[in-house]
Amino acid sequence: MIVQKKYQFWFCTGSQDLYGDECLSKVAQHSRQIVDELNQSGELPYEIVWKPTLITNELIRRTFNEANADENCAGVITWMHTFSPAKSWILGLQEFRKPLMHLHTQFNEEIPYDSIDMDFMNENQSAHGDREYGHIVSRMRIERKVVAGHWSDPIVIGKIASWMRTAVGIMESSHIRVMRVADNMRNVAVTEGDKVEAQIKFGWEVDAYPINEIAESVAAVSESDTNALVDEYYDRYEILLEGRDPEEFKRHVAVQAQIELGFERFLVEKNYHAIVTHFGDLGALKQLPGLAIQRLMEKGYGFGAEGDWKVAAMVRLMKIMTAGMKDAKGTSMLEDYTYNLVKGKEGILQAHMLEICPTIADGPISIKCQPLSMGDREDPARLVFTSKEGHGIATSLIDLGNRFRLIINDVECKKNEKAMPKLPVATNFWTPEPDMYTGAEAWILAGGAHHTAFTYDLTAEQMGDWANAMGIEAVYIDKDTKIRDFKKDLMLGEIFYR
């Protein structure tokens, strides 16, 4: 389901025609070698494409406009090998509309002490040329990523790789289409928001459909297709009857299989990548979509419960940004549900009524069938599991009335201390950074929601850079957070983002 273009990044080296052909040929040779070796590192999620050295206003402007027009180009990496007078860059930068990185590197790692002369210095002056270029980008208030260090350093390559995922998130954000088959849950504030502003800021299309249109698509799924999917479920997951009649249990599971197929066909037909539902608005559906939604999330769809289209879009965005990642640990919607406040064991039990993505599961996944305490439908089947240990980020995008704010909390996911045999939903359990109490206080001061878009596979820096590229505020709750400073951050945001 995660459909993405074969994105590439352009590598543009700046110079000028003052240095003579011999110097410029070395500049080109060096930048080609850097591009080749970066591509061969095996660490980059996308290919880098070398471009001829940029030495004139005309060429710079033309190259940036070609980058704009090339559908596969997800951003430009710039580097000044020599000195490139930065007024030459103004027109090109003014017209450039894609993610920009300034790689502040130089070809040689060490100063060649024995042989260095003025010719060498004039040819290798990134320390000097990159400052001239950086100045104009700052003066023009253009959002860009600056990465400093030798291009062969694994840390530098890791930063380029990480930024590429952010850049693809920036590019793909404007293709996200969210289907609402239910409105926001009545009276709930934090899941609401300005959909027009979200389309202006993020490019998201958020459209409503009557629930019974998708319910018709579900009803149209044949019994044989449904049964084939039920067989797949029974092969893949443990079946926990818990005293229920096996045939009756299977009929409940089949309802979810039919919903999965009907929803997926409807989403594909209408070209949507994320969906919201609401337990209180199910039309002709026999069960709240549980297992069905969990499977769709696993396939790469975004999801938000109770009409929460912001979370649906964010989950989709994070799934795109982590697509194809080696050893990915998963991305899901989650909800802060219940605390453990025992000293030294503090944490937040994360769950939802049903809809947690199985990509975050650790160990076996079971199907259970249990009544819902809310709503008026038959007992829905759902996937139940616990989640992986380790570091992750929980994000909440909120609408403050005049603007959006992205709250990003680093969290440490842990095993539940004990089994919870009576809890029939998938869970995660984490302790927010810097500690349970500061983390929760900061989250509440920032206005963070109870629904989050969570991932093990992205960093706060990546999501913060995405937010900055969208022109919205990002606030970080992590090991450095102190409430007094955090409140100042929020106050600064009030002034800066209007």
Interface positions with Mn ion (CB under 5 A): 305-306, 335
Residue that is written with structure tokens 């590598």 in the block: 11
Q: What is the DSSP string of 455-492?
A: ESSS-HHHHHHHHHHHT-EEEEESTT--HHHHHHHHHH
Nearer to Mn ion, 45 or 447 (CB): 447
CB nearer Mn ion, residue 323 or residue 357 = 357
Tell me the two tokens of residue 95. 């017209």
Left (φ > 0), alpha (ψ -120 to 50) or beta: where does 390 sit? Answer: left
In whole angstroms, how close is the CB of 375 to Mn ion at the nearest point?
12
Shortest CB 414 distance to Mn ion, Å: 22
Min dist CB 352 to Mn ion, Å, is: 6
Q: Is 130 or 355 the residue whose CB approaches Mn ion more closely? A: 355
d(CA 59, CA 306): 51
Buried b (16+ CB within 10 A) or exposed e, 111-127: eeeeeeeeeeeebbbbe
Question: What is the closest distance, in whole angstroms, from the C-beta atom of residue 342 to Mn ion in the complex?
Answer: 25
**Measured distance CA(101)–CA(76) in Å, rounded:** 6
**Position closest to Mn ion via CB:** 305
145 or 278: CB nearest Mn ion: 278
Distance in angstroms (rounded) separating the CA atoms of residues 468 and 463: 9
Shortest spacing between CB 304 and Mn ion, in angstroms: 9
- Distance of closest approach, residue 355 Cβ to Mn ion, in angstroms: 9
State whether residue 316 is helix, strand or coil: helix
Q: Which is nearer to Mn ion, 85 or 375 (CB)?
A: 375
Cβ 49 vs Cβ 11: under 8 Å: yes
Nearer to Mn ion, 191 or 409 (CB): 191
CA gap 208, 203 in Å, rounded: 16
C-beta of 433: minimal distance to Mn ion in Å?
Answer: 23
- Whichever of 305 and 463 has its CB closer to Mn ion, that residue is 305
By the 8 A CB rule, do 361 and 386 touch? yes
